Chains A and B, each alone.
Chain A
Amino acid sequence: MGRRTSLRLGVSVAAIAMVATACSGSDDGGSSDSEGDSAATGGSFTLSGSEPEKLAPAADCYSADCSQILSTIFTSLVSVDAETQELEYGAAESIDSPDAKVWTVKLRPGMKFHNGEPVDAESYVRAWNYYAYGPNTTQVGFFLSPVQGYDDLQGKQPKAKELSGVKVVDDTTIEITLDEAFSQWPLIMSYAPAFIPMAQECFDDVQACNEQPIGTGPYQMSEPWQHNESVTMEKWEDYEGDDPANADSIEMLMYADLKTAFRDWQAGNLDIVDGVDPSQVEQAQAEAGERWLSVDDGSYTGLGFPTYIDMFDDVRIRRALSMAIDRETIADRILMGQSTPAMDYIAPFVPGSRDDACEYCVYDPEEAKRLFDEAGGIPGNTVTIFFNNDGGHEGWTQAVGEGWKNVLGLDYELASIPFTPWLNTLDEGKSPGAYRQSWIPDYPSPENYLDPMYGEGSANYSRYQSDEFLRLIAEADAAPSIEEGIPIYQEAADVALEDLQVAPLFFGKTEIVYSERLDNVNYDPLQQILLGEISVTG
C-alpha cells in the first residue's frame, strides 16, 4: 500500500548513461557498444512501474515511473555525473552565465523529434511557455517560477502568454533571465518534466500526444499507452544522439502493488523489479544473488518539532528527543535495511553531504536523559507523533515512541490520519505534536534539501525561522558557480542542525532485482535504471 506521491529525481536516464559511457573510457560516446564487450543489442525486456499521471504535457508528469518513461523517450538538456557530481550535457551543449542571473543555453544542433520536426530553440520555448501558463494548470510548471515574467502568466486572466525572461536568440540558442541570481539554476534544468521540449504536433493536440508522446530520445512509443496495463518503448532507428539503446524494446508493466511485481519476477514473468517491498528484501537478496542492486534514492525522513507547540521551545528537549532515537536499530529491524541513519539534512550522493554533520543525531541514552532532565522534562510527560496512515509509517513511528518510553520515561501517542488531511493539517500549522517530515528531491543540489524545509520554502512545516540561515542561503544562491555555493550551504545546514527544529532520521534506499536474461543493469544514485544500457542475453 505504499505510495510514492512525491517527485522523484527527474534527471535524465539517457544523459546519465552518457556520463557512464564517458567514465568507462570511451571518449567519443555514440554507439551502443561503448560499454565494452558485454553489451549485446536486440531483444526485449519488461520492468515494473506504476501508472503514470500524464505523458503530455510533461509538466503534469511528476511521479518517478512517469519520469522514467520521459527520460527514456527524451534526451534531456543536462544531468549530473553521479561520481564526479559534475554537469553532463545531453541535448544542451552548454548552460552558462556570467552573473548567475542571465543564462545562455546552447543546444546541440541537428537533433530531431520522433516525427521528424527539428529540436530547436523554438520547441523549448514553446514548451516552457505552455508549462508556466497558469490556466494550463500543470503540476510542476512552477519550477519555472524563478524566471522573469512568470508571475504575469498566473491567475484567472493572465497578463501575458509568454515568459518575458525567455528569448530565442537563434535556432540553437536560448537566453533565460531570472528574477534574482541563482547559482544552482543548471541543476534545476536537469529536472526533465519541467524542461523537455514540445513538438509543434504535440502542441496542437496535447490530448493525442498524451496517449502517444512525441519524444527526442533513443526510444519511442510506437503504440499508444495501454492505461493501467503497460507502456511499450521501441528503439528509434533515426536517433542521432549519444544515448545508448541496446535492447530493441522495453515494456513497462503497471503494478498497483510492488509485492506482486516481485512474485511475478519469482515466477519468471518479469525481468526487473524497480523497488522491492521492504518485507521481501531478504528473499530478494537470497534469490537474486548477484542480480540485485541497492541504491541510495535521495529520499529523506525527519521528525519535525513545530515552533507553535510550547513543549518543543527548549532546544535541549529537541536534542534529547533526537538523541533518544536509535536510528541504526530502527533502520535495521523495522525498515529492513532499506534506509540508512541520517547524520545530515543533505542526502549522501548530493554534493556537500557529510556523514557527521548532525551532532545530536547520535544515539546516546545517557546524554539524552541528562539533557531532558536538565530542561525539566515536558508538561504532561506525553509526546504525540503525527503522520499519515497510508504510507507504511506505523512501524518506525511506534519504534521511535518506544525508544522515548525506554530512554526518557516518556509516554507517547501516535496520531495518524490519511494523506490529504495530514498535509492540510501541516499546511495550517495544526500538528498535534512532532510530525513526520519527508522530502524527495527534485534536483541534486544541497539547496533543494535546505531552503524548502527550513527557509522560506514550501515545506517548512515546523515554522523554523532563522535570519542567519536565510542570510547564508541567499549568499549561496548568489554564488558565482554551483561549486562555490556548496560550502556556504553547508554552513546554513550547520545553523539549522544546531537548532534542530527538525531531527534528521533516515535516508531512503531502493532495491532492484533483475532476471538472468539481462546483463549490464546499472542505476544512477538518482534512482533511475539506465534502461538503454541494458543488454538482453537470454
Chain B
Amino acid sequence: MGRYIARRLLQFVPVLFGTMFLLHYMQSLSVQINGNPVRALFGDRQPPPETLAAITRAFSLDDPCLNQTGNPCVGLFVDRIINYSQGDFGIDFNERAITALIADAAPITIRLTLIAVLFEAVVGILAGVLAGIRKDGVTDNLIRITTTLVISVPVFVLGVLVQILSGVYIGVWLEDNGAPEWLSAMFSVSYQADHPWASLVIPGVVLGAFSLGFIARLTRTSLIETLRADYVRTARAKGLGRRRVVGVHALRNSLIPVITYIGIDLGALMGGAIVTEGIFNVPGIGGLVFGAVARGETPIVIAVVTLLTLVFLLASLLVDVLYAVLDPRIRYD
C-alpha cells in the first residue's frame, strides 16, 4: 500500500504540469484572440497609449508571442514555472499578491464545501438506501421526483428561490420571534463574516443539492444490485436481520460508485460554486476565479485551478484507497 501511494503521488506531477500548461495555453490564446485585457480596465475611454503600455508591461503582457494567435508562448510558461519555484505566484490587476487572495478566499470555500459534502453524502445515501430497499415504493418515487426537480432547475434559479425563502421570509420571521443570533444568521440572505459557519449552511445545502440527486440515485441503483448478489442471499439465508444485511453487507459494497462520485465532486464543488457563491455573496474561490477569467487575470486562473486540481487528485487517491477498504477483493501492490 505504501509503495502504491508513493507511485500515485509521483503521478501527480505530470497531471499538474499538464493542467498548468493547458490553462497557460488557453489564457495565452485568450489574449491572442480577445486582445489586451488591460484595455478593459479603462472602460469606455481609451487610455493614452503610454499609460496602456506601461501597465501592460507591468503585468508582463507585452511579450510579442501574445500577438501571434496559436503560439503556445512556451517562454512565458517557463518563466512562470521558475517564478513559482521561487515562491512568486504573481499579482492581480490591483497589485495584490495571488497568495493573499487565495488565503482570503480558500478558508471560506473549504467551509462551504465541507457543509455541502456532508449534506449531500448523509442525506443522499440515506435517501438512496430508503429508496433502494423499497424499490418503486413511495419513498423511491418521491426521491425520483425530487431529484428530477433539483437536477433540471438550474442552480441560479434554485439558489435565488431558496435565498428568498430562507433569507427574506424565514429569516425575518425568526428575527421577529426572538430566535438566537446563530439561528437567524443561518437563515440570512448573504454570507456574514461574523458567522463564518452558520451563514454558510444554506449556501452549502444549495451547492450540495445538485449532487444530492446523483448520490441518492447511485446509492439506490447500486444497493438494488447488491441486494440481489449471492452473498447477500447467503447472509439472509443464514438468518441475519434485514437491518444488518443492508447496513453491513450490502451497503458497504454498494458504496463504491458513490464514493467515486463524491471524490470527483469535491473538486467540482470547490471551484464550481461560482453561481452559488455569487448569489449568497460568499467571497470565496468561485467568485475570485470567475472575475479572473472575465478580466483575463491569468496568474489567478492558473494558480487557483492548479490548486483545485491538486485537491481533486488527493481526493481521488483517497477514494482509491477507500476502494480497498470497502472491498477486500481489491488489492493494490
Touch between A and B in complex, CB under 8 Å?
A: yes
Known A-B contacts A5-B43, A54-B95, A154-B50; the reply to A420 vs B34 at CB < 8 A is yes
Q: Which of A264-279 contact B (CB under 8 A)?
A: 264, 266-269
Residue contact A263 to B54, C-beta cutoff 8 Å: no
Tell me which of A264, A427, A440 contacts B43 (CB under 8 A): A440
Complex CA distance for A427 and B35, rounded to whole angstroms: 11
Min CB–CB distance B58 → chain A (angstroms): 5
Residue contact A142 to B190, C-beta cutoff 8 Å: no
At the interface, yes or no: A424 with Cβ under 8 Å from chain B?
yes
Residue contact B51 to A141, C-beta cutoff 8 Å: yes
Known A-B contacts A458-B46, A459-B44; the reply to A137 vs B188 at CB < 8 A is no
Q: Scan A429-443; emit 1 where CB is below 8 A from any B CB, else 0.
A: 000000001111000
Q: Scan B276-294; emit 1 where CB is below 8 A from any A CB, else 0.
A: 0111110100010000001
The stretch that binds A, out of B165-173, B214-222, B243-251, B308-316, is B165-173
* A contact residues, range: 35 or more
Residue contact B43 to A418, C-beta cutoff 8 Å: no
Q: Which residues of B contact A259 (CB under 8 A)?
A: 160
Residue contact B39 to A260, C-beta cutoff 8 Å: no
Residue contact B46 to A427, C-beta cutoff 8 Å: yes
The stretch that binds B, out of A225-233, A406-414, A517-525, is A225-233
Min CB–CB distance B151 → chain A (angstroms): 24
At the interface, yes or no: B40 with Cβ under 8 Å from chain A?
yes
Q: Which residues of A contact B278 (CB under 8 A)?
A: 256-257
Q: Which residues of A contact B190 (CB under 8 A)?
A: 255, 260, 263-264, 269
Q: Scan B45-60; emit 1 where CB is below 8 A from any A CB, else 0.
A: 1111011001101100
Question: Which residue of chain B has its CB nearest to the CB of A262?
Answer: B189
Q: Scan B14-26; emit 1 where CB is below 8 A from any A CB, else 0.
A: 0000000000000
Residue contact B42 to A418, C-beta cutoff 8 Å: no
Min CB–CB distance A159 → chain B (angstroms): 13
At the interface, yes or no: B175 with Cβ under 8 Å from chain A?
yes
Residue contact B168 to A420, C-beta cutoff 8 Å: no
Q: Which residues of B contact A62 (CB under 8 A)?
A: 41
Complex CA distance for A141 and B42, rounded to whole angstroms: 12
Tell me which of B39, B50, B54, B172 contacts A424 (CB under 8 A): B39
At the interface, yes or no: A145 with Cβ under 8 Å from chain B?
yes
Q: Which of B92-108 contact A (CB under 8 A)?
A: 93-96, 104-105
At the interface, yes or no: A452 with Cβ under 8 Å from chain B?
yes
Q: Which of A387-435 contact B (CB under 8 A)?
A: 390, 418-421, 423-425, 427
Known A-B contacts A54-B95, A139-B42, A427-B39; the reply to A260 vs B280 at CB < 8 A is yes
Residue contact A134 to B104, C-beta cutoff 8 Å: no
Complex CA distance for A368 and B183, rounded to whole angstroms: 61
* B contact residues, range: 35 or more
Residue contact B280 to A266, C-beta cutoff 8 Å: no
Residue contact B39 to A137, C-beta cutoff 8 Å: no
Residue contact B50 to A419, C-beta cutoff 8 Å: no
Q: Which residues of A contact B192 (CB under 8 A)?
A: 269
Q: Which residues of A contact B294 (CB under 8 A)?
A: 390, 418-419
At the interface, yes or no: B163 with Cβ under 8 Å from chain A?
yes
Residue contact A137 to B58, C-beta cutoff 8 Å: yes
Question: Which residue of chain B has its CB nearest to the CB of A206?
Answer: B95
Known A-B contacts A134-B50, A424-B35; the reply to A60 vs B44 at CB < 8 A is no
Residue contact B189 to A269, C-beta cutoff 8 Å: yes
Q: Which of B264-304 contact A (CB under 8 A)?
A: 277-281, 283, 287, 294-296
Complex CA distance for A256 and B35, rounded to whole angstroms: 25
Q: Which residues of B contact A227 (CB under 8 A)?
A: 96, 104, 283
Known A-B contacts A134-B50, A226-B193, A263-B168; the reply to A53 vs B94 at CB < 8 A is yes
Residue contact A255 to B281, C-beta cutoff 8 Å: yes
Complex CA distance for A244 and B163, rounded to whole angstroms: 38
At the interface, yes or no: B36 with Cβ under 8 Å from chain A?
yes
Known A-B contacts A137-B55, A418-B294; the reply to A6 vs B39 at CB < 8 A is no
At the interface, yes or no: B257 with Cβ under 8 Å from chain A?
no
Complex CA distance for A21 and B145, rounded to whole angstroms: 63
Residue contact B193 to A229, C-beta cutoff 8 Å: yes
Question: Which residue of chain A has its CB nearest to the CB of B295?
Answer: A420
Residue contact A421 to B34, C-beta cutoff 8 Å: yes
Tell me which of B94, B96, B167, B295 contacts A263 (CB under 8 A): B167
Q: A137-B54, A266-B172, A458-B45 are in contact. List 7 more A-B contacts (CB 8 A).
A: A53-B93, A60-B94, A137-B51, A230-B193, A421-B33, A423-B43, A437-B44
Can you list 8 A-B contacts with CB-CB less than 8 angstroms, sorted by A residue number? Answer: A5-B43, A260-B163, A260-B189, A264-B189, A420-B40, A424-B34, A458-B46, A459-B45
Interface residues of A (CB under 8 A from B): 5-7, 53-54, 60, 62, 134-135, 137, 139, 141-142, 145, 154-156, 226-230, 254-257, 259-261, 263-264, 266-269, 390, 418-421, 423-425, 427, 437-440, 452, 458-459
Interface residues of B (CB under 8 A from A): 33-37, 39-48, 50-51, 54-55, 57-58, 93-96, 104-105, 160, 163-164, 167-168, 171-172, 175, 188-190, 192-193, 277-281, 283, 287, 294-296
Pairs A-B, 8 closest by C-beta atoms: A424-B35, A6-B43, A228-B283, A421-B34, A458-B46, A154-B50, A5-B43, A420-B40
